């Protein structure tokens, strides 16, 4: 069976007010990004320099940068779905060294795919008067999609730079882009087309 992928509209240039924008770096952790990680995503390493550049530009412009980390207890029921990964306090749960958060930058330890579920993320974004979120990281159709969707359902405007997102398969990537653009009315762009003002 052949499935036709609907066209995803790409915004070549997106300007975002830094004071009202947060960059959400989703799960760029050793277990997903490092080749020795327990749930390694082969396309994730090539997004590291792209995400690093976005982080640097966001910091320079004064936008908030938030890092999410999958954060599981040793007996987490999710391990019946996925192999053991991102156990709290372990090497696998740490953000990869190339993207290490600065002291004082926010880390959200999340329990499931959605970074808003059971965390203070929405509360913090409201305190900071954030209106727009840029979502990058891994995995496209899992934690990135659920976090982007949850942000949109809370009426944050979502921007997804596709070159800063990794997936397990091309289908998964296209499905995530389609959902963010079509269902959640987010803007799909690339990292170079994104400008913090």
pLDDT tens-place string over residues 27-40? 999 999 999 999 99
**Of residues 51, 95, 142, 143, which has the active-site annotation?**
143
Active-site residue, 143 included: yes
Over residues 84-100, mean pLDDT: 98
The reported pLDDT for the residue numbered 135 is: 98
pLDDT tens-place string over residues 148-173? 999 999 999 999 999 999 999 999 99
**Res. 43 pLDDT band, cuts 50 70 90:** very high
Contact 180, 137 (CB under 8 A): no
CA distance 58 to 166: 20
The reported pLDDT for the residue numbered 5 is: 81
pLDDT tens-place string over residues 1-22? 888 888 999 999 999 999 999 9
The reported pLDDT for the residue numbered 2 is: 85
- Domains, the chain: 17-196 (3.40.50.850)
Q: Which residues of 33-54 are buried (b: 16+ CB within 10 A; e: fewer)?
A: bbeebbbbbebbeebbebbbeb
The reported pLDDT for the residue numbered 165 is: 98
Mean confidence (pLDDT) of the chain: 97
What's the pTM value of the predicted model, to 2 decimals? 0.97
The reported pLDDT for the residue numbered 96 is: 98
């Amino acid at each position: 069976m052949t499935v036709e992928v609907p066209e995803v509209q790409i915004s070549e240039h997106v300007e975002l007010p830094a004071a009202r924008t947060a960059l959400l770096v989703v799960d760029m952790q050793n277990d997903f990004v490092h080749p020795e990680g327990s749930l390694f995503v082969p396309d994730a390493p090539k997004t590291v320099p792209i995400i690093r550049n976005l982080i640097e530009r966001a910091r320079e412009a004064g936008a908030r940068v938030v890092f999410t980390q999958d954060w599981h207890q040793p007996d987490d029921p999710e391990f019946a779905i996925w192999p053991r990964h991102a156990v709290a306090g372990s090497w696998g749960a740490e953000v990869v060294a190339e993207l290490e958060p600065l002291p004082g930058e926010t880390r959200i330890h999340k329990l499931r795919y959605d970074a808003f579920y059971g965390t203070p993320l929405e509360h913090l974004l409201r305190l900071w008067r954030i209106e727009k979120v840029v979502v990058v990281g891994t995995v496209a159709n899992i934690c990135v999609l659920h976090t982007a969707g949850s942000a949109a359902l809370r009426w944050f405007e979502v921007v997804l730079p596709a070159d800063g997102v990794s997936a397990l398969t091309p289908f998964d990537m296209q499905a995530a882009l389609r959902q963010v653009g079509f269902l959640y009315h987010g803007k799909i762009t690339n990292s170079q087309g994104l400008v913090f003002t």
